[in-house]
Amino acid sequence: MNELIRVDDFGYSYPKSQLRISLDESLVLNAGEAVLISGPTGCGKSTLLGAMAGTLRGKMDGNIAISPDLVQYHNNMPRISIALVLQNPETQLLCSTVAEEAAFGPRNFNVDSLEIQNRIGKYLKLMGLEGLESRHVEDLSMGQKQRLALASVLTMEPRVILMDEPFSQLDPMGRGLLIDLMYELKNQGRGLVICEHTLDLPTGLIDHHIHMPGEVSVTNTTCTRSFTSSPGMKTVPSGDPVLRIEHVSLTHDGTAPILNDISFSINSGEKVLLSGENGSGKSSLLKCIIGALRPDSGRILINGHAEQKPTILFGTLGYLMQNPERQLFSESVYEEVAFGLKRTGHDQETCHERVLGILDLMKISDLVERSPFTLSFGQKHLVALASVLAPQPGIILLDEPFTGLDRRLHDHILEVLDHITVETSAAVMITSHDYDLHAWAHRQFTMKKGSMLHAVPSA
């Protein structure tokens, strides 16, 4: 076996934080093999990838040995043939057009221009981006951006490819494409290291599996229910309609419709899954509901009122955006969760009760005095959700709330939302390209290219 990378006794302490991660077993990557690194959210999977790629700063323990086979020379300068694909494709695309982006890496290594053209054609085709060479990267869907991020490192033809949650932004079609590509790369003798929460990858794809126990981010979180195995939908609650969408359409100048004649309504206490492929219009619909985008036609009624402005909807509607840790700003978790409650005019005693209650429900009571900025990814996620739920809004909208979370946290959040819908009769709508949430929801709406394909069961 041609050993490419070996990691022994790896450990790392995050600067200015109490967090420390370690890898108890050795990681060995051979040519033509794939290693899966799994573990709970915040256990340090991405940090380990950064260490292997050489992008991690600070003092590390242990030893990372890299085969000299991976050292290549360009203009007498050494470089290691390891590529890293990060989780967020938006920050990896550095150029204007698809072709430029794909050429950026090899151009920096002075690869011959004819060879660059060959590689662009080959890898864009492989990633299903053929014909989009002159497309501006800002005009791509999130799934296309993810595939381009991968194509743009493949054009450097690295021997080892490190992928940080490569499936998290992809719909089922994109996932299938990526799995096929992984087999192809292995057949070419390249080594793959994949960080993922989901363990449902094809058995023949993964050669070694490393589990990182890491820090448990939520105390005593044992989910008592499975949200993926129950068949079919439940009976739709017959409460009052709290959200009604009537013939909503949205376009941007010169582009295909983003939303095309969307109509549905949601009752209080109802749990709805809004699913669809990347770029189908799910997030745009949520933005119309919260008043961040104004539809070209149609109307949206919230509790019977057509006026949508975030300032008016405050207290009525709770919204958790993608990467919710972006919402955090307070000095302590307590202050963070109490912020919305104070603004809704609750007295201090009620605020205190509600904050402790929601933290207890979220099982993060032990974090009450911690600064949100020092928490792990999963903990930040839960704090952000707690701060949205604390004012008890009648409608809760969650935009891809499970990106980057492991199954345990995923199920924990669903359990919390179940509790909230029963206790407060709030309507909950989740957008996701994961179809396996259908057992949790009362109804599932599926969107494709801006149109509503179907609702299960029909309203």
- Segment 148 to 167, residues that bind another protein, using CB under 8 A: 152-153, 156
Binding mask of the shown chain, residues 361 to 400, with x at each position contacting another protein by CB under 8 A: ------------x-------------xx--x---------
Tell me, by CB under 8 A, how many residues bind another protein.
79
Question: Of the candidates 15, 78, 232, 304, which one interacts with another protein according to CB under 8 A?
Answer: 78
**Contact characters 1-30, another protein, x per CB under 8 A:** --x--x------------------------
In terms of CB distance, is 156 or 206 closer to another protein? 156
Q: Which range binds another protein by CB under 8 A, 128-136, 239-247, 407-415, 426-434?
A: 128-136
Of 17, 26, 108, 350, the one binding another protein (CB under 8 A) is 108
- The full 3-state SS of the chain, as one line of letters, equals CCEEEEEEEEEEECCCCCCEEECCCCEEEECCCEEEEECCCCCCHHHHHHHHHCCCCCCEEEEEEECHHHEEEECCEEEECEEEECCCHHHCCCCCEHHHHHHHHHHHCCCCHHHHHHHHHHHHHHCCCCCCCCCEHHHCCHHHHHHHHHHHHHCCCCCEEEEECCCCCCCHHHHHHHHHHHHHHHHCCCEEEEECCCCCCCCCCCCEEEECCCCCCCCCCCCCCCCCCCCCCCCCCCCCEEEEEEEEEECCCCCCCCEEEEEEEEECCCEEEEEECCCCCHHHHHHHHHCCCCCCEEEEEECCECCCCHHHHCCCEEEECCCHHHHCCCCCHHHHHHHHHHHCCCCHHHHHHHHHHHHHHHCCHHHCCCCHHHCCHHHHHHHHHHHHHCCCCCEEEEECCCCCCCHHHHHHHHHHHHHHHHHHCCEEEEEECCHHHCCCCCEEEEEECCEEEEEECCC
> Are 387 and 320 within 8 A, CB to CB?
no
Site string for another protein, 269-308 (x = CB under 8 A): ------------------x--xxxxx--------------
Q: Which is nearer to another protein, 100 or 406 (CB)?
A: 100
Q: Binding of another protein at residue 53 (CB under 8 A)?
A: yes
Residue 183 binds to another protein (criterion: CB under 8 A): no
Q: Which of residues 397-426 bind another protein (CB under 8 A)?
A: none
Q: Does 65 bind another protein (CB under 8 A)?
A: yes
Q: Does 338 bind another protein (CB under 8 A)?
A: no
Nearer to another protein, 3 or 261 (CB): 3
User: Site for another protein (CB under 8 A): which residue of 24, 25, 26, 136?
Assistant: 136
Contact status: 458 vs another protein (CB under 8 A): no
Decide if residue 84 touches another protein (CB under 8 A).
yes
User: Where in 314-333 is the site for another protein (CB under 8 A)?
Assistant: 314-315, 317-319, 321, 326-330
Q: Please, is 220 exposed, middle or buried when counting C-beta atoms within 10 Å of its C-beta (0-12, 13-18, 19+)?
A: exposed
Shortest distance, position 78 Cβ to another protein, whole Å? 5
**Which residues, numbered 240-259, are part of the site for another protein (CB under 8 A)?**
252-255
Give the separation between CA 298 and CA 250, rounded to whole angstroms: 9
Residue closer to another protein (CB basis): 66 or 362: 66
Tell me how far, at minimum, the Cβ of 96 lies from another protein, in Å.
Answer: 4
Q: Which is nearer to another protein, 314 or 435 (CB)?
A: 314
The torsion angles phi and psi of 132, rounded to 5 degrees, stand at -105, 15
Q: Does 113 bind another protein (CB under 8 A)?
A: no
Counting contacts by CB under 8 A, is residue 223 touching another protein?
no
Give the interface segment with another protein, choosing from 88-96, 209-217, 227-235, 268-276 (CB under 8 A). 88-96
Least distance to another protein, CB of residue 246, Å: 18
Q: Which lies closer to another protein via its Cβ, residue 237 or residue 315?
A: 315
